[in-house]
Amino acid sequence: MFKRTLIAAAVALAVGGLGFTSADAWTLPSWLHRSSAAAQNSAAGAGNSTGSTGSQAAAPGAAATPGAAAAAAPVAIAPLPPGSVPNYAAIVKAEGPAVVGVTVAGLRKTDGSDGPSMQNDPFYRFFRGLPGFPGFRMMPNGPQPFHGLGSGFIVSSDGLILTNAHVVNDAKQVTVKLSDRREFNAKVLGSDTATDIAVLKIDAKGLPTVSLGDSKSVQVGDYVLAIGAPYGFAQTATQGIVSAKGRSLPGDSYVPFIQTDAAVNPGNSGGPLFDAEGQVIGINAQIFTQSGGFQGLAFAIPIDVAMNVKNQIVAHGYVQHARLGVALQDLSAPLADSFGLKAPDGALVASVAKGTAAAAAGLEPGDVITQVDGHEVHTAGDISTRVGMAHPGDRLTLSVWRNKSRVDVPVTLGKAQAENTVAAATPEGTTLGLTVRPLDRDELHGAGVDHGLLVEQAQGPALMAGVQPGDVLLAVDGKPARSIDQVRAALSKHPRHVALLVERDGQQIFIPVDLG
């Protein structure tokens, strides 16, 4: 099944043997590790920044040495003449110093049911029976320690780093390893699961930075180069071409992915994808695989999408996405013919949600959206991407095919539910780790409360304190939680501890959360 085998290219390592914390999680078998003596020497050089719980495989070239030499001076890369092959060595030399490794540690909740599902997991089927691969066993209930590996890249010399949200998901401790072997504890300024982008900050100055390109100018067939830490092997470079543009993937309606055949594997997540002139055009995020490894299909988030998210996180600590309020589907040739269209281009409106921007604008089921602000719409994904990356309150003009004639429909976009998220960190650095949304009238009645926010996801400090998805957040430090903004206001005071009042199974309980 496509969604099952489309995985995020990160490596997650569970403490105490192999444990799959997600569909993309596995550990390196012992025969891929360096000798124990070498590993111990590397660990001694790397320090103890990733925590003392459990063991972690050391990757070649990943050890840290305090006071290492500064990064090499930037190397100029000449524009590529038509028909020429890129100078990959020059790109690696110029841009490699700004590519980092990301190591995370934390707790991830399990319910003990992960065990049986592992037998159907592609990683389990592929690696079962290999030397050093432990046999199947049930995972215990409750939060379990985990270590994970990913990649990232520096976008400002004062320590701003981009990576994937799934790399730092649930992480209590994040460590960034520079190419010169220095290590820094990193703060997660914020993350956006809708686009899978996270922004990290380390306390450093004068760092090398990548050159940013224009993902909109990318063409199918263009040369690309990926640099990252697959399976923890730092500063690994792989090359290929852009094999498709604007891919819509299951569960990722906001992102028009760049598809490449550059070899990307678990651990590459969050690493940069460069064009032939050494400019970043995307962030490697996912692979399509039935084996657990690279099979020729890799997907990168366009850099313009990533920078849009980064700018919002730096400015506000969270990201807002717009919402139109329609269910869309692609046109088939028979449907296009029935609507009087010459070609199956456009997005068919299947339904319109009440009280949304689409309803206020007068969109109707059966409308076919053919253009957005003059830009052609070929599939439903074109609409989802354009609207999702817009801001609430933005005005768009939709060209709609209705009753075999064209009409322009102006619409002012509303807020997507995805914006109802308490940021992973506020701009001041206060971390909570809750994804919540307001309860509707029926949900309030069913819970027997007159206000509250439904917990959709708990991670970080909130997860470790015992907050669970399905809880209803009623108050923060004694003040009612009637809106997302009220929760953010409570965090803006930089508390070290907060007391959350939640409703669970008909009972109200206080949960203290240590924010560190």
Please identify every residue annotated as catalytic.
166, 196, 269
- Give, as one character, the DSSP assignment of residue 216: G
Report CA dihedral (438, 441, 444, 445) to the nearest 10 degrees. Answer: -170
Residues in contact with 145: Cβ distance below 8 Å, sequence separation at least 6, in sequence order: 14, 15, 16, 53, 54, 105, 106, 107
457 is written with which tokens? 């996801």
Residues 6+ apart with CB under 8 A from 180: 68, 69, 70, 71, 97
E strand or H helix at 107: strand 99-111
Helices and strands, number each (H, E), in the chain = 13, 29
Number of neighbours of residue 209 by Cβ within 10 angstroms = 19
Torsion of CA 397, 246, 272, 214, to 10 degrees: -50
- What DSSP string runs through 254-313? EEEEEEE-S---TT-TT-EEE-TTSEEEEEEEEEE-SSSS--S-EEEEEHHHHHHHHHHH
H/E element, 409: strand 405-412
Q: From residue 74, give the alpha-carbon distance in Å to each of 91, 180, 209, 251.
A: 10, 14, 9, 38
Geometric angle at alpha carbon 92, from 87 and 95, rounded to 5°: 115
Determine the Cα–Cα distance for residues 380 and 378; give it in Å rounded to an integer: 7
Can you spell out the DSSP letters for 336-370? Answer: HHHTT-SSS-SEEEEEE-TTSHHHHHT--TT-EEE
